[in-house]
Amino acid sequence: MIIGIHKDLVKFYSEVQESSETKRGNEHHIEDIVYVAIDKLMADAVNIHQAILTLCDGGWAHIAPILLRTMMECIANCLAIINNKPPEYMAFKYCCRSSFQISKDNTFPENRRRNAKETIKQWINMLKDKKAKQKAVQYIESGKLYRFWFCPEESGVSAILDKYGSNDLKFVYGGLSISTHAGYLGLSLFKDNPDDITINPIVNPIKTKSSLVISCRLLLELLFIRNDYEKLGHDFEYNKFLERILDLKNEVQV
């Protein structure tokens, strides 16, 4: 059952993506740079979602928390973009972060830094909102690199999820964080037998199902965020998927 949901969600992503592209062509309902940012975050999340299934099939379900946590950061990045005004400016900060870092780092060759500066100009030229463009120019001219791209508007991933996310998201993020810091428990949390120490694949039927269910729930959450923000009209499909996933809740352990 969970494999069916997992694969059906990839198809649902394609439907949501097509709806967004069609609406954008007809109404231009979303700013270009916001579309690019959300499109990239969605594609990254779907790639992670599919990679987790591959890991689980190979006996590496206990490694999935690392990717699941990254998927949660896709959600947090999306929430930071759409919940701060103007979204165009936040999307700009997200998209140009790497180029900004390279442009300020003298350890990179001059041509790399020069190309990074040109890329930043291209992102700025994509901005249509006057206020967003002004803020973007000021941000780059300040030369200040914060720890996270979304600072100072937001202080961290946990804070973003606390402000804009559901209670389920907050709970899951806390559990996944334990698994990604190489602590003693660490990845053992996603083993059926936490005392199993091995470098080989492990058969973990219980935690394999947990990994796949969590992946489905997180991807569905991101799809809901996009559907709601862009008003794409997939509420019925979302609710049906949610029902299917909740039917498995007694089989999931985090």
* Mean pLDDT of the 149-174 span: 89
Domain count, the chain: 2
Predicted confidence (pLDDT) at residue 155 exceeds the cutoff of 80? yes
Q: Are residues 193 and 237 in the same domain?
A: yes
> Is 185 within a domain?
yes
Q: Which of these three, 153, 186, 208, is where a domain ends?
A: 153
Predicted confidence (pLDDT) at residue 251 exceeds the cutoff of 80? no
> Is 34 within a domain?
no
User: In the structure, what pLDDT confidence band is assigned to residue 160 with cuts at 50, 70 and 90?
Assistant: very high
Q: Are residues 121 and 228 in the same domain?
A: no
What's the pTM? 0.93
Q: Which of these three, 123, 153, 183, is where a domain ends?
A: 153
> Is 33 within a domain?
no
Q: Are residues 113 and 128 in the same domain?
A: yes
> Is 241 within a domain?
yes
Q: Label residue 54 exposed, middle or buried (CB < 10 Å: 0-12, 13-18, 19+).
A: exposed
> Is 171 within a domain?
yes
Q: Are residues 184 and 247 in the same domain?
A: yes
Q: Are residues 124 and 168 in the same domain?
A: no
Q: Are 91 and 81 in contact (CB under 8 A)?
A: yes
> Is 224 within a domain?
yes
164: which residues sit within 8 A by CB, 6+ positions away?
79, 83
> Is 122 within a domain?
yes
Q: Are residues 105 and 201 in the same domain?
A: no
Q: Are residues 164 and 184 in the same domain?
A: yes
> Is 102 within a domain?
yes
Q: Are residues 185 and 233 in the same domain?
A: yes
Would you say the C-alpha torsion 71, 73, 74, 75 has a positive or negative sign? positive
Q: Are residues 90 and 195 in the same domain?
A: no
Predicted confidence (pLDDT) at residue 171 exceeds the cutoff of 90? no
Q: Are residues 118 and 187 in the same domain?
A: no
Q: Are residues 131 and 187 in the same domain?
A: no
User: In the structure, what pLDDT confidence band is assigned to residue 250 with cuts at 50, 70 and 90?
Assistant: low
* Mean pLDDT of the 37-41 span: 97
Predicted confidence (pLDDT) at residue 20 exceeds the cutoff of 90? yes
Q: Which of these three, 122, 153, 184, is where a domain ends?
A: 153
Q: Are residues 168 and 234 in the same domain?
A: yes
The span from the CA of 168 to the CA of 217, in Å, is 10
What domain range is 188 assigned to?
2-28+39-83+155-251
